[in-house]
Amino acid sequence: MANYTQNYITAEEFTTLQNHDKMYQGFIEGVGYAYIDYFVIAPVHLYGNGSPYVPPGMDMFIQGIAQIIDTSEEAVVMSYGDKKVVEGEVDVKNETNKRASKPVTDDWPPYNPGEIRPYEPNIFDQFLESSIGQTFIGKIIYGVVDDFYVTIQCLTIGHASASHLNNALTIGDETITSGIY
């Protein structure tokens, strides 16, 4: 990383920022250089899983952000800024050994990033993908049951919250074509 941001904070200040879910870019004294990494997860159907159906919410790119800490010896030396590292005011080798024995992350609260799971079809999707569901009669049965399900939801919870049997939200005139005017 050639272009460093010339910000300097202590490890305690960095821990406070992390506890408040704040990202930081700059040097952490005695620890190294913290920077922000942006990444993208492509939609499932772009990986060629063979399924023509893409579940709702999984048809878009997912953007992410991560806090990364460069703890290389060069970054640790640079994290002291204007202090006289060369003249011996800061013992970089000793600081590096301290970091190796106790990472700075020991004091951080536990992090739960959630989880990314593959799509699992519900019972209605399994019916549609079965040999019976692929027949003309199977599609008619599914369509009638799905329309009835959407109609009942429109009458009870309202048009905006209605969804299909596969949990896909209704859009456009689907509530009208399902029997509600």
Do 13 and 74 lie in a common domain? Answer: yes
Q: Is the pTM of this model over 0.75?
A: no
Residue among 6, 2, 5, 11 at smallest CA distance from 108: 11
Q: How many folded domains does the chain comprise?
A: 2
pLDDT at 90 over 60: no
pLDDT in tens, 18-53: 888 889 999 999 889 999 999 888 776 666 655 666
Do 151 and 88 lie in a common domain? Answer: no
Do 84 and 128 lie in a common domain? Answer: no
Question: Any bridge partners for residue 70, and if so which?
Answer: 33
What pLDDT is stored for residue 63 in this prediction?
85
pLDDT in tens, 135-167: 999 889 988 898 888 888 888 877 777 888 887
Instruction: Give the whole-angstrom CA distance, residue 47 versus residue 45.
Output: 5
Q: Which domain holds residue 71?
A: 8-107
Which two three-digit tokens encode residue 94? Answer: 């000793």
Instruction: Give the whole-angstrom CA distance, residue 101 versus residue 97.
Output: 6
Residue 67 within a domain = yes
